[in-house]
Chain A
């Protein structure tokens, strides 16, 4: 099985712009979670989607949003970018059928905001 695929891997934006990141989960996995990883804060939970519905949400401002499509692929969007949004954004998928609450992570999308 192919792993979790995230695109783009690297991107540079300027303050005020918006960005969309994409995540394709492992085939058959219906749950997708997003995390922001920074050196100072570590891994912070953004949101989780299951069957196109947001199931959990972290403590991020409304500028951060996401969605999931019928094929389980997910996108997250950050509007009005700020310098502090520079981070590695990780996507992870989970096999809900197995009952094991284990996340498989993608390589991440590294966002730099100038």
Chain B
């Protein structure tokens, strides 16, 4: 079974502070990991995926297979980062492509 755990529901930080949103997963195989974001009154959208190894809006996430984690990090939070963040996992290809989401975490960046 595939499972994604986001242990915290809410993270509140001041502007300019570092941010780390935690994500742990369970999957027997080689997963694909993603972070999706939902800003207020906007659609759920992809933020980044581990395969791309890219930085989007200053966010990065490294897949740690030993710790089965995919934490999302940003060194200096901005107010516009306030949103709901979901970590997600899928297998590779065909019938394994189902995307399983964690329950999400609300990031609040205060001025």
Interface residues of A (CB under 8 A from B): 3, 31, 33, 35, 41-45, 48, 55-56, 58, 90, 92, 94, 100-108
* Binary per-residue interface labels of chain B (66-97) against chain A in the complex, 1 for a CB within 8 Å, 0 otherwise: 00000000000000000000100010101101
B interface, by DSSP: helix, strand, loop or mixed?
Answer: mixed
Stretch of B12-20, B22-30, B41-49, B55-63 lying at the A interface: B41-49
A interface, by DSSP: helix, strand, loop or mixed?
Answer: strand
Q: Report chain A residues within 8 Å CB of B103.
A: 41-42
Interface residues of B (CB under 8 A from A): 32, 34, 43-46, 49, 86, 90, 92, 94-95, 97-104
Q: Report chain A residues within 8 Å CB of B92.
A: 101
Q: Report chain B residues within 8 Å CB of A58.
A: 98
